Structure 1
């Protein structure tokens, strides 16, 4: 009788723990993907123009065109802006913003002015389910890497035989890494990206979500892993385990620059170090002290000196 009672208690405890694991995993997936809602303010052009983060008067004089392309994955319309360099150029940076951001994040920290000063045109776009782009939920790079590829093809058509670079931040960087390792190696030469800049990317989506569970709920990573294996695809519409930048990084074949903030409390700094080690192509790594997630450009001297060194010594592009 005592043994039976002990077994029942053990089963109840196990079931309770399992329910907590599944519940927390479902909550995280629901908040991050299923019920995702982009912010209604903070990242629009009007919001950023009201700050002193860039030269509004200069920007208003720049030639730019609005672009809309249909996604080949599901037909949703994707919206972007091509900003031409004041001095005609065939060099273009494609900017891939972070989750909850918008195409106008490229205005933060004077980044747009700095890129234009280095002779680049800038194509910046709203990720699916952000800004003016259609889509109901983000897939954290799973579909976005194909969207990015379409923007690359668009730039290659506008500037035939030009130089294309891609810069991504946070989730946008993870998307860029997936493209760099899974798609770019197979592209035709004139549509191939010449170099990438990845800032504060996670190395693996499942690991990143598990890290957030541990950070916010103080539960071990197995809590998320268990939930994902059962609940993943039916709820998300894609397999989170297929969003692994570190696996894609092994196949990158062009120069890359990794940037990460040492004080990053959102994505662990060691994830960029892990990604850096996985890449066999020419590479550089910059760890910026004191600043938080996606704020490396707030240390402009260190950031842009490293950026210039990367372009000159690794990519072999003259400023």
Structure 2
């Protein structure tokens, strides 16, 4: 009998050690900033890009560099600020995606600049030129963006009308911001493009589709490790719960061929939102490619939506 219990204990120990090892590996894959094999690393701007002109403009336009301190752990954060061509009281705050940074948001920045907006494009903690050794997936970052808004109002005046826009992880960040009571009253509308319902849902989906791994025990273990090392867990990082508390206008955008943040995620998000809302599904668009797939429709939809709430 004692031998059986020893075997059982040995097996349990091996399984626990294996789980901890796997959690540490996937924590590094998902949460630690750095090169990711599953993401395109191409930085070359090609003339064949349907958004070439916008991205080239962004590379060349004069930018101010702004700094802020993170809301929870005193990290130095970095951002670009581009004033409108003519003095404007309208400003767009743009949130980038997973392992992206402010230098890659040229198409969105150009879109808002054409509409007469000032543009603020921060680097999230752990990405670009901002400090940090983990990716927040939008959850700790939501409070940082509120600090950016307040800094903007302090520098540019309390009469500013703010819009927040984000793509992919930035879309989820935008929705996570929307559920916070401390969002300034000057924030008039949100635009989220292909954001996920929650970090837990997205990590679970990626574990299954990319690694053919089940939810249990890997995802809860990586979430627990993230709690210990980064101060948040996957379940609390829910765009779905946050958007359910939002009462301000929100435009939801998703490509119908998205297999990275599956298109199906946008429907419960849209349904949960409590404010004035609109849904744009772009046919043929893969992940974060809705603007590139149909630039004219994208631009017109955003412009018409914002015209109702920002004057």
**CA–CA distance in structure 1, aligned partners of residues 237 and 221 of structure 2:** 16
**CA–CA distance in structure 2, aligned partners of residues 230 and 79 of structure 1:** 29
Aligned to 1:297: 291
- Structure-to-structure mapping, 1:273-292, within 5 angstroms: 273-292=267-286
**CA–CA distance in structure 2, aligned partners of residues 56 and 29 of structure 1:** 33
Residue from 196, 209, 212 that aligns with 1:215 = 209
Q: TM-score, normalised by structure 1?
A: 0.82
Secondary structure of the corresponding residue to residue 82 of structure 1: strand
**CA–CA distance in structure 2, aligned partners of residues 272 and 76 of structure 1:** 32
CA change 1:186–1:230 in 2 (3 A) is: closer
- Structure-to-structure mapping, 1:217-236, within 5 angstroms: 217-228=211-222, 231-236=225-230
Aligned to 2:301: 306
Aligned to 1:177: 175
Matched, 1:130 2:123: no
**CA–CA distance in structure 2, aligned partners of residues 303 and 57 of structure 1:** 19
Would you say the 8 A contact 1:63–1:86 is kept in 2? Answer: no
Aligned to 2:101: 102
Deviations 1:197-255 (A, max 9, x none): 10111101111111111112223323434425754523443222210110111111210
| Superposition CA RMSD, Å | 3.1
Secondary structure of the corresponding residue to residue 54 of structure 1: helix
**CA–CA distance in structure 2, aligned partners of residues 284 and 131 of structure 1:** 31
Secondary structure of the corresponding residue to residue 305 of structure 1: helix
CA change 1:141–1:187 in 2 (3 A) is: closer
Secondary structure of the corresponding residue to residue 247 of structure 2: coil
Aligned to 1:156: 153
Q: TM-score, normalised by structure 2?
A: 0.84
Secondary structure of the corresponding residue to residue 94 of structure 1: strand
Q: Report how many aligned residue pairs link the two structures.
A: 303
Would you say the 8 A contact 1:62–1:86 is kept in 2? Answer: no
Would you say the 8 A contact 2:149–2:184 is kept in 1? Answer: no
